[in-house]
Amino acid sequence: MPTLAIVGAGPGLGAAVARRFARDGFAIALISRDQSKLDALATELEAAGATARGYAADVREPAQLEDALARAAAELGPITALQYSPLPSRNYLKPVLDLTPELALEALQFSALGLIHAVRAVLPAMREAGEGSIILINGGTSVMARAGFAGTSVAFPSESAYGEMLHDALEGEGIRVSQLVIPGGIPKLELPNGIDDVADRIWGLHATAGEFRTMLIPLEDGRE
């Protein structure tokens, strides 16, 4: 059974993506910091027929993240798809004049460095198999900096740059690397089927090779 690992899993987008991938036979590895919340989400998904398990890890702690991904692969099956979508702390959404070096470093650890550690944990098996997908979920500051959201305006572009380089380096190996930019809170987007439409879009990024970046809506129509 192929496995989808969702780094930053939660009851909103993470759960919707888990349901969508489970319909096509994926086991689901749920990764975030709170084991009790992960267990509750896994129970909910399994009640709906999915195979799901939670693995607690803080993306700012490389050993925790790498161990969670290794345990997921060992217990559920090879990680064929990785979604990197941890929700940034509100501390990263400060004005630029309040951004300290320490906070900027933490934001980079959360976004760019966390992604690099996650990719290095799953990529060898994907390359050996000759298939896989790595999907980044980011807000609008990955495309355009905003002085009122200084932490993500520093960290998201770094994450994006790494993802785009991966896309170019791996496109000939059957491994798809893509980014979905969501410039605004999902509940405010007024999509016909709500969050399930976003999950369908993410499934499409996994299933079909294409450009690195996809905008869920035009940047000017959303908010961070």
**pLDDT tens sequence across 151-172:** 999 999 999 999 999 999 999 9
pLDDT of residue 194: 80
Q: Measuring CA to CA, how many Å separate 208 from each of 6, 52, 98, 169, 170?
A: 19, 24, 41, 17, 14
Is residue 107 scored above 90 in pLDDT?
yes
At 191, is the pLDDT very low, low, confident or very high (cuts 50, 70, 90)?
low
pLDDT of residue 192: 67
Nearest C-alpha neighbor of 84 from the set 106, 63, 59, 107: 59
* 3-state secondary structure (DSSP) of residue 174: coil
pTM score of the predicted model: 0.94
The residue range of the domain holding 101 is 3-221
CATH code: domain of residue 155? 3.40.50.720
Half-sphere exposure of 213 (CA within 13 A, CB side): 20
pLDDT of residue 157: 97
Number of domains within the chain: 1
Is residue 201 scored above 90 in pLDDT?
yes
